[in-house]
Amino acid sequence: MGQDQQLHPGHLQILKIYHERRGDWDCRRETTVSVMRYMARTKELVLPVVNNKPDTDRGSIFFVGTATVILRYAGFTILTDPNFLHRGEQAHLGYGVRTARRTDPAIEIDELPPLDLIVLSKVLKKKGFSSTYALKTWQTFTITKGKAVLRISSMPARHAPAPLGKLLPPVMGSMLEFQVPEGQTRMRLYITGDTLLYDRLKEIPQRYPEIDLALIHLGGTRIFGVMVTMDGKQGAEAIRLIAPRMAIPIHINDYTAFKSPLEDFVKAVKAARLEKQVKYVAPGETYTFKVPKR
């Protein structure tokens, strides 16, 4: 079984410390176990409704730093790949490999808004998570919140070529499809995850020909001299391949292991004449987007 076919731990997360702090959900152990059993059986989750008239014409992405963003759309508030380490702190990549952070997050963890869910591209440690849910490649999980429906599907991803790929944690991309009550998809957002550019990514636009927005993990991260995330050139090629209406580069310039700076991506985008498909968002900035009618 190849890496893409393995269970990817932690695609959907109920993060106990977030919800207990805000009193949004009852996250006592018995409640969490009950919820997760329901999720495992039905592959769906129903969230409590605050506003039953969600705005599907526009949304926003707040860039915290690294691969962490806060997505607000269709009544959902979603956090991706939470990373709140500070400048100078070490991230453990496994097998004794560490990398130091060069930047600070744009906000602190206690400044987060109430969250509906967290989407991860990989799990290095389960510390802080009361429960997790796993998806195989192409498997879909459905979340309903009032009239809004969110389908999250696991996309193929590969962290590194063999044999290093077998030593690193499995990674995944994510496709978030927001649907209206009639069942039509209103907006698609693709998150590459910490993948390299490789053949299986070609299957994504074949299955999902209209992608509104993409978050592209870059950095050209190197471990033992081997590149394990896309550099600027691969990132530009990924945009050409996936063909989103708009792409935002993230996961770049934050760690000493990131060897391909943003300038590499900017040059590659210009060379490929993709400037109109790229939006540069700095940590602490918010990108507000409009979703065209399909």
CB neighbours of residue 294 within 10 Å:
11
Residue 125 pLDDT greater than 70, yes or no: no
Mean of all residue pLDDT scores within the chain: 84
Residue 114 pLDDT greater than 60, yes or no: yes
Residue 17 pLDDT greater than 60, yes or no: no
Maximum Cα–Cα distance across the chain: 55
Residue 64 pLDDT greater than 60, yes or no: yes
Angle between helices 262-271 and 232-242 (to 10 degrees): 50
Residue 199 pLDDT greater than 80, yes or no: yes
Q: At 69, list the tokens.
A: 């963003």
Lowest mean pLDDT among 144-148, 188-192, 246-250: 144-148
Residue 63 pLDDT greater than 60, yes or no: yes
Entry pTM: 0.86
> What domains can you pick out in the chain, each with its CATH number?
3-290 (3.60.15.10)
With a CB cutoff of 8 Å and minimum separation 6, the contacts of 60 are 71, 72, 73, 286, 287, 288, 289
Most confident range (mean pLDDT) of 135-139, 164-168, 178-182 is 135-139
For residue 41, the model assigns a pLDDT of 55
Residue 39 pLDDT greater than 60, yes or no: no
For residue 44, the model assigns a pLDDT of 82
Task: Say whether 277 sits in a helix, a strand or coil.
Answer: helix
Which pLDDT tens digit goes with each residue over 217-233?
999 999 888 999 999 99
